[in-house]
Amino acid sequence: MAHISDVIEGEPKLFRKHFRTLFDMVKIILQKDVTSGLKEGALEALVMFCEKSPKLITRKPEIIKEIYETIFSFMVISTEEVTNEWLSPPEGNLISKN
């Protein structure tokens, strides 16, 4: 995905006609059980395209909504394993348990 981001950064016009395919690929990667590095790379490619081709994105409000939903869903993903650091936070940062 890093190479795709590099191409998007240098030549975003190559992806304009194929944005929907790129976006669908990013969504699939974010939903699969793959390394976080691959997911971050996919998200980076999406954001890079939005930065390099803002006119294409802003002409389609439904795409903007879908991009936001994709980015936010990636942001709230958490692992099921809770680390000891979260279970026993340093003093002063304790959230009361009810």
CA 74: distance to chain centroid? 5
d(CA 57, CA 46): 11
Torsion of CA 88, 92, 95, 97, to 10 degrees: 70
Task: Print pLDDT tens along the chain (98 aa).
Answer: 778 888 888 988 888 898 999 999 999 988 888 887 888 899 999 999 999 999 988 888 898 999 999 888 888 776 667 777 777 777 765 565 55
Count Cβ atoms within 10 A of the Cβ of residue 42 and give its class: 0-12 exposed, 13-18 middle, 19 or more buried.
buried
Taking residue 52's Cβ as centre, other Cβ atoms within 10 Å add up to 17
Helix (H) or strand (E) holding 63: helix 61-75
